[in-house]
Structure 1
Amino acid sequence: MSKTQFKEVYDPFVSLGLTPTVDLVLVHGVDGDPAKTWTWQKKDSPPVFWPADLLPKERPTTRVLSFGFNAAMYHSNTTSTIRDRARNLLGLISARRAGSGTRPLILVGHCLGGLVIKQALCFANNEERYRPIASSTKAVIFFGTPHNGADKSSWNLIAKGYDALLGPLTKKGSAVSPMANAITRYADELEEMKEDFACLSPRYAITSFYETHTWGKTGQLIVPKMSARMMVSKEVAYGVEQDHQEMCRFENAKNDAFLMLRDRINEAVGEDTAAGAAQKKGVNTVQAPTKAQVGLEEEVGGIEMVLGSSPEAVAPDRRTDTPRVVPVIEFNREDPAAKVVMDALRVIPRL
């Protein structure tokens, strides 16, 4: 990508004539793209861009926007460009949300895109013009974001992980890609950002997804579990049975990671009432797996789950003509209380 972009992926008003109730913003990471990062693609199968193909069926009134930028930024001064992109992100969100008041905001980042989000919220909480973004943000969801860094040597290990994506290691095992070298060089500033955001984290519902499959080309994890976790009290962490690039791509609405993403959004901003009406009209929604199915366990710093792909997964509904939702009232005619209400309605003059 050659320039900064901010694409509207899904607009409830344009698609269904519904007023948006929540905004969700996506931020990609290393060598990412505002669409491809979030798109599941297999040979001989149609692509699934979950922000447009899956999420609107679960949350019809959630507007989705995707922030994109030149991924080559990571081959230069990493910290300064994270700050630059964070300010660009704030400016674009502010412009797109003009007149939206306090509409809830969800931020989702993959890889170093999560660091852009963290820096943006640090700025927003300290600058008056962006304070509405800070106060409207209800949840932050990270996929494979390198939060730690307990010290410079830890950041160096993270840098080596990214070398698996961007370049080979030297014989001595040191980081050689410019982006990885920059992470090591600016470890102190990255550590400061980590500490600043940790102080802000109680204000938001924090979810951290971490990869459990190694990168095929090198046989190593790009962002190991302990790096991908913030280790703060309200954090909920999930292990995803995918590698670093595939962990945020969902083939259908029964994918475990997608279900957990959806449920964390629902916990933060409430369920989408339009989705319930849509279900009555024949638009299927999927229940999240039970704790027994995925093996829930508590850890220091929050809750952790390891997620796999549901064996009963089926191909997604590829319809794009989602029916418009019309609210209705239904009664059980055999319920005595319902009969009283229905009798009362009969005597009300029709307009």
Structure 2
Amino acid sequence: MEFVGPPLQRLNDHVYLLKQGTNPKVVIVFFHGLLVDESEKEHAFWSTWRVRGSNDCWPITLLPTRLNSLTEDPYRIRVLALSYESRVSVPEVQIRATDNHLLSENFIESLVMSGLCRNEELDRDVPIILVGHDMGGILIKNFIMEVERAAVTTRTEQAKLVNFLKSLKAVLFFSTPNNGSDVIEKIAGTIPKENRSKLLTLMAVLGSKLSRINSEFKIYRAQSGFQTFAIVASYQTRLNQYWTSHCQKGSEAVMVVEEGSATYDVDGYYSVAADHFQMCQPEALWSYPVTKLRDEVHRQISNCRKIAIAEREKDLEQRYQKLKAVSTEHLATLPSSSEYST
């Protein structure tokens, strides 16, 4: 599959730059899920998010267009996408690359310590929005909790970790199996243990790893204040169209992620008329996933502008009070009118 447009820049081992916003106001990071086709290993970071029926990547094209339709002042956004080993079956020598703790450590280095989620031109933190599809949503949760733990235990560059967490404003989950997936669990059972991705254990129904991640994340986000939103697939998926290596021909359509699992512990959700994989592939500019992300970016930029205005007004008021105090003090030293008359 070939990308439509200029070559995408690889910034480090895990991060690709989809859109470079000079002096960005918001940073958006996309996490893809399990690969629908193992041949997509090299391009899942962008092909997951393509316009349906084309090789056009909508975070690069449709999203900026929708954003700029809101205002005459173009919104400057930076769009990043993570790339990592997410095949359901991998060579035995590469199994370690599917360890969720190792991945989170790599994400911390690639995203947080690198400064890619900041406005480096102004040396300023900006709102961050994370977007994940199926397993990518679970990895986002695990990643956030690893950042939080590192922020408590790490002394070197601790400010970067703390500021990243403070800047995190929203997480959008695309068909994320927060309570696991029977379908994925069955697929995992068809793969030899020595080749089975460790990430599949994060999608097991009633799995201990997933339960721990959910519990920690629920407690943390309750005290942190960032928003979570789920986009849910309302259509069943005929898996043999995607995972041809692990599903029998003619297999019946199934719900890969049930609504209850996809909407667990979120502030709101919306169902789209698409299957588990098509839901990441909007058909047009007006499609809901594009609109929802646009609205969230708009909300964060508007909040930043309100805060900036309030800070300027506070600064002006403080300056006025200082000038007033100096003027009053100066007037007190001047001779009174009676002294002039004598």
Normalised by the length of structure 2, the TM-score is: 0.64
Q: After the TM superposition, which residues 64-83 of structure 1 pair with which residues of structure 2 at under 5 Å, given as runs?
A: 64-72=79-87, 81-83=99-101
Give the whole-Å Cα distance in 2 for the aligned partners of 1:132 and 1:73: 34
CA positional deviation for 1:265: 3.1
1:87 equivalenced with 2:108 (yes/no): no
Q: After the TM superposition, which residues 124-203 of structure 1 pair with which residues of structure 2 at under 5 Å, given as runs?
A: 124-128=147-151, 129=158, 130-148=161-179, 155=180, 158=181, 160-162=182-184, 166=187, 178-179=196-197, 182-183=201-202, 184=204, 187-202=207-222, 203=225
Give the whole-Å Cα distance in 1 for the aligned partners of 2:32 and 2:56: 17
Query: Does the 8 Å contact 1:30/1:71 carry over to 2?
Result: yes
Q: 4+ residue runs of structure 1 moved beyond 4 angstroms?
A: 73-80, 166-170
What CA deviation, in whole Å up to 9, does each residue of 1:145-192 have, x standing for no partner?
A: 1112xxxxxx4xx1x32257x56879xxxx9x9358634498112101
The residue identity in structure 2 corresponding to 1:182 is T
The residue identity in structure 2 corresponding to 1:81 is D
Give the whole-Å Cα distance in 2 for the aligned partners of 1:93 and 1:66: 10
Residue 15 of structure 2 corresponds to 6
User: Which one of 22, 27, 33 corresponds to residue 23 of structure 1?
Assistant: 27
CA positional deviation for 1:82: 2.0
Residue 291 of structure 2 corresponds to 259
> Helix, strand or coil for the counterpart of 2:35?
coil
Give the whole-Å Cα distance in 1 for the aligned partners of 2:59 and 2:46: 9
User: Which one of 258, 266, 269 corresponds to residue 224 of structure 1?
Assistant: 258
CA positional deviation for 1:78: 9.7
The residue identity in structure 2 corresponding to 1:29 is G
From the superposition, tell whether residues 37 and 78 of structure 1 become closer, same or farther in structure 2 (CA, over 3 Å): farther
Residue 302 of structure 2 corresponds to 270
From the superposition, tell whether residues 97 and 265 of structure 1 become closer, same or farther in structure 2 (CA, over 3 Å): closer
From the superposition, tell whether residues 122 and 147 of structure 1 become closer, same or farther in structure 2 (CA, over 3 Å): same
Give the whole-Å Cα distance in 2 for the aligned partners of 1:10 and 1:225: 32
> Helix, strand or coil for the counterpart of 1:125?
helix
> Helix, strand or coil for the counterpart of 1:259?
helix
The residue identity in structure 2 corresponding to 1:38 is W
Give the whole-Å Cα distance in 1 for the aligned partners of 2:103 and 2:126: 23
1:240 equivalenced with 2:275 (yes/no): no
From the superposition, tell whether residues 78 and 191 of structure 1 become closer, same or farther in structure 2 (CA, over 3 Å): farther
Residue 324 of structure 2 corresponds to none
Normalised by the length of structure 1, the TM-score is: 0.62
CA positional deviation for 1:249: 1.2
> Helix, strand or coil for the counterpart of 2:48?
helix
1:52 equivalenced with 2:60 (yes/no): yes
RMSD of aligned alpha carbons = 3.3
Greater Rg over alpha carbons, structure = 2
Give the whole-Å Cα distance in 2 for the aligned partners of 1:53 and 1:117: 24
Query: Does the 8 Å contact 1:83/1:116 carry over to 2?
Result: no
What are structure 1's unaligned runs of at least 5 residues?
14-18, 149-154, 274-351
Give the whole-Å Cα distance in 1 for the aligned partners of 2:66 and 2:262: 27
Give the whole-Å Cα distance in 2 for the aligned partners of 1:34 and 1:162: 20
CA positional deviation for 1:259: 1.2
User: Which one of 146, 151, 164 corresponds to residue 123 of structure 1?
Assistant: 146
User: Which one of 214, 221, 234 corresponds to residue 212 of structure 1?
Assistant: 234
From the superposition, tell whether residues 167 and 21 of structure 1 become closer, same or farther in structure 2 (CA, over 3 Å): same
Give the whole-Å Cα distance in 1 for the aligned partners of 2:64 and 2:287: 15
CA positional deviation for 1:269: 4.0
Count, aligned residues? 248
CA positional deviation for 1:39: 0.6
From the superposition, tell whether residues 123 and 101 of structure 1 become closer, same or farther in structure 2 (CA, over 3 Å): farther
> Helix, strand or coil for the counterpart of 2:45?
coil
CA positional deviation for 1:79: 11
From the superposition, tell whether residues 213 and 73 of structure 1 become closer, same or farther in structure 2 (CA, over 3 Å): closer
CA positional deviation for 1:242: 0.5
From the superposition, tell whether residues 245 and 212 of structure 1 become closer, same or farther in structure 2 (CA, over 3 Å): same
Give the whole-Å Cα distance in 2 for the aligned partners of 1:62 and 1:74: 35
From the superposition, tell whether residues 79 and 238 of structure 1 become closer, same or farther in structure 2 (CA, over 3 Å): farther
The 10-residue stretch of structure 1 (255-264 or 107-116) with the greater mean CA deviation from structure 2: 255-264
What CA deviation, in whole Å up to 9, does each residue of 1:254-280 have, x standing for no partner?
A: 11232122223323443899xxxxxxx
What CA deviation, in whole Å up to 9, does each residue of 1:92-150 have, x standing for no partner?
A: 112024644321111001110111111111122232232221111111111011112xx
> Helix, strand or coil for the counterpart of 1:39?
coil
Query: Does the 8 Å contact 2:32/2:48 carry over to 1?
Result: yes
